[in-house]
Amino acid sequence: MTSFFGLLLILSAAPDQPLSAGGSSAHAVTLESVDGPVWHGHFLSIDDEGLVHFRVDDRDEHVPLDDLTRIEFASLPAPAPKPAMKAGATLYFADGGVVAAGLVAALDGDRGIRADIGLPAPVDIPFGALGAIRFATRPLDAAQAELSRRLRNQEAGRDLLIAVRDGKPVVLPGTLERITPEAWTFRIGDKAQTAPLDKAYAVVLSRPLTASAAPPAEIALRSGGTLHGRIRSADARAFRIDAGALGTVDIPVDFVASITLRSGRVVHLADLEPATVTQRSYFDLSWPPRKNCNVTGGPIRLDGRRYERGLGVHAYTSMSWELGGEYEQLTAMIGIDESVAPRGRAVFRVLCDSKVAYDSGPIGQGLATLIKVDLTGVKTLTLECDPGDDLDISDHCNWAAARLVRAKSAS
């Protein structure tokens, strides 16, 4: 079987894709930069110096990987589904990635598992790379809540087996010794017990003795799930990823839906608590701001596009943050959420130290706008949404992908 260490995955190009200058296939791609610009073109490569090369119309361009927040590939059919595997599981990686997997075999030495995670070949995953393994094919509310809580507070030096009895989770401390496609073996004290996979809900692995920094790239696979790592390079066929404890893995471009990049220059407003929030409605309804979703809890959608990050509010809402003068720019896509189409009309306003720095005027459906506001020296940032000319009916406003950007020298 192919090992995760040095795994090489090569997939031929789809025949109807455009060609790069060198004759290799090039995938349609959208590149979002840290400070606002967006490019639509065809992906070519990422070199060893961290430059992303792409083609726009008939010219070749490049941009540093560190200056990007997202690489998104045009929709393609998902890879052909493989026959369902009997031993299904959900793998929670220690670095935050989550994938559905088919368990293939125990690794030699019993300290890991060979699994099919939706790539062309099974991969070898040591237990040290995992935070948890969920055996249940469907999440159960109480047990899943227990699993999530234990993942957030992993213990050092011992594993935890989560079982379900009478509908309630039961947590047993011990040591995971072995997993096969048929069974798990878990030691509690001096006794090792082996049972079929479905006799436990999940197992949470012990916390590593030394914590590592969060990987800078989150790779969303077309088959579902995410892997985390550091992009070393790429060509028109595959990304080479340094996946920490998993080693180096090459992921075919055809298998990648998008890559979200973390940058020391960027802070998402959804990750910061506002110092003040004011919200009111003509009908005295409460519409508190929501993080990473629209104001009703659904996905943020503007002009046919979904945004994973941002703030959803209802007009009238005002939110303020104390910035302390450490940022140079605010960027965001503003507009009325598609869920209320064709209704909704509102005014988006940005205030810097109580002075209006941006005013959209009344905007409605289909008028999503990228804004960039200079924050040099700004101490207090305020975002406001006012109702349009039809009271506040359906004024569900989105500050999509709203983020603060530090100067390169500051980061």
Take residue 235 and report the two structure tokens written for it.
Answer: 């060509």
CB-CB contact of 93 with 130 (8 Å): yes
Q: Map out the domains of the chain with their CATH numbers.
A: 1-263 (no CATH), 266-405 (2.60.120.1060)
Residue 179 token pair: 């997993």
Cβ(93)–Cβ(83) below 8 Å: no
Q: What is the pLDDT of residue 25?
A: 59
Return d(Cα 217, Cα 195) in angstroms, integer: 37
Number of alpha carbons in the 13 Å side-chain half-sphere of residue 16: 1
Amino acid present at 75: S
Q: Which residue has the tokens 């047993």?
A: 172
- Would you write out the chain's pLDDT as a tens digit for each of its 411 residues? 333 323 323 222 333 333 333 334 579 999 988 877 789 999 999 999 999 999 999 899 999 998 898 999 987 665 555 555 556 899 999 988 999 999 999 998 778 999 998 888 888 999 989 999 999 988 899 999 999 999 988 888 899 999 999 989 999 999 999 999 999 999 999 999 999 999 999 999 998 755 566 788 999 998 888 999 999 999 999 999 998 777 888 999 999 999 999 887 889 999 999 999 999 887 767 889 999 999 999 999 999 888 888 999 999 999 999 999 999 999 999 999 999 999 999 999 999 999 999 999 999 998 999 999 999 999 999 999 999 877 777 899 999 999 999 887 655
Around Cβ 410, how many Cβ atoms within 10 Å? 11
Q: Rounded distance, CA 137 to CA 328, Å?
A: 47
- Length of the chain counted residue by residue: 411
Residues 6 or more apart from 214 whose CB is under 8 A from it? 95, 96, 228, 262
What span, in angstroms and rounded, lies between the C-alpha atoms of 148 and 162?
Answer: 11
